[in-house]
Amino acid sequence: MPYTREMFEQAQQIIAARKAEAEEKAEAKRRLFETLEPEYKKWKNECILSVKEALKSIDLEPEKAQTLLEEQKKRNFRAQQEIALLLKKNGLPADYLEIKWTCGVCEDTGVVNGRLCDCHIDLLKKLAFEEAGRKSPLKFSRFSDFDLSYYDDAYKPEYKCSARERMETVFRFCKDYAADFDLSSPNILMCGETGLGKTHLSLAIAGEVIEKGYHVLYNSAQNIFNELQKERFGKTDTNGQYEAMVLECDLLVVDDLGVEFSTPFTNAALYNIINTRLNTSLPTIISTNLNLKELEERYTRRVSSRLIGDYAALLFFGSDIRQKKNG
């Protein structure tokens, strides 16, 4: 995934701050331990001197170098043992004086063997998705805010249940989906008229999945297509970053599909999103005010067949909740 120069700079600053903080905390522990056990300083200096002496072997003949290295190795080992005994005497863990890196692989340098460490890449992803999230006009909702009492409990013959019964089932499905989410989770298609809670529940899922540490991209279909179009035709300096996030994020949530302007570009972009994410087995949630028949009429067969055949359909019905809340 491509990233902007600003993101690289911000990530490097964060990693440098992590390293500095880890080293400062370790040094503070060492200073404290010296006050508890003055003898620690002696053995610490022994460790340092043994390393310095060992470095002198570089200029010696191989046989003499090996002898010196063995001597300094024993010297260092003894000093380490004495420090371990002092720690044990004070009831402290054996690793008390060690630096606690955020990432033990790269030791908070962000680089391993000349390549970006996974922690550095994960941080870049996090920054990219945070930036994308700031472009979303929506705020995350919670399952605890979802009020089923707004749904009518009158039996509907055409649905063989009441609106409240249907929405209780939908609510439980969404809550379980968020709780059990992983990259093998199914795709979801939320269908129903406006004001029935589709946005609320998809936002609630997104919020919980983000808290689990997954990378989530949430936005309306129109905003997603606008960003992709600007990027495609060089109206931004993101260099394909937004498209990469749409196609590669752990969970993509597309709100209000069907209200966007239908153009050859949006139709092609929608097919590419759906097809690419299906091929890479990455979960997607799409909400729409259109029913299944209307989806078939509005979009090409390549799009509608994938939405109907490869997504778990959640059908919402009832009265407009927004009107009831504002009434």
- The pLDDT value given to residue 315: 93
- Of 70 and 240, the one with more pLDDT: 70
Query: What mean pLDDT is reported for the chain?
Result: 88
Which range (97-106, 147-156, 228-237, 262-271) has the least confidence?
228-237
State CA 90 to chain mean position distance.
40
Looking from the CA of 201 toward its CB, the CA atoms found within 13 Å total: 29
Q: Please give the average per-residue pLDDT across 231-248, as a whole number.
A: 80
pLDDT score, position 326:
61
pLDDT grade, residue 237 (50/70/90)?
A: low
Q: If we measure between CA atoms, which residue out of 260, 317, 273, 290 comes closest to residue 189?
A: 290
**What confidence category does residue 325 fall into, taking pLDDT thresholds of 50, 70 and 90?**
low
Which pLDDT value is given to residue 133? Answer: 66
Q: How far apart (Å, rounded) are the C-alpha atoms in residues 150 and 321?
A: 6
Summarize the confidence of residues 23-28 as an average pLDDT.
Answer: 94
Q: Is pLDDT above 80 for 58?
A: no
Inter-helix orientation angle 5-36/118-134, to 10°: 120
Using DSSP bridges, classify how beta strands 161-162 and 155-156 pair: parallel, antiparallel or unpaired: antiparallel
Res 180: pLDDT: 97
So where are the chain's domains?
A: 5-120, 135-326
C-alpha torsion 199→204→205→209, nearest 10? 140
**pLDDT value for 138:** 56
If you average pLDDT over residues 86-101, what whole number do you get? Answer: 92
pLDDT at 24: 95
Residue 4 has pLDDT above 90, yes or no: no
Question: Which of 89-93, 173-177, 211-215 tops mean pLDDT?
Answer: 173-177
- Output the pLDDT for position 161: 87
Answer yes or no: is pLDDT of 46 > 70: yes
Q: Which of 289, 300, 211, 302 is nearest to 254 (CA)?
A: 289
pLDDT value at residue 70 = 86
31-47 residues labelled b (16+ CB within 10 A) or e (exposed):
eebeeebeebeebbebb
More confident residue, 132 or 310: 310
Q: Which CATH number fits domain 135-326: 3.40.50.300, 3.30.70.420, 3.40.30.10, 3.40.50.620?
A: 3.40.50.300
pTM attached to this predicted model: 0.69
Find the radius of gyration of the CA atoms of the chain.
29
Q: Residue 71: pLDDT band by 50, 70, 90 thresholds? A: confident
pLDDT at 327 over 60: no
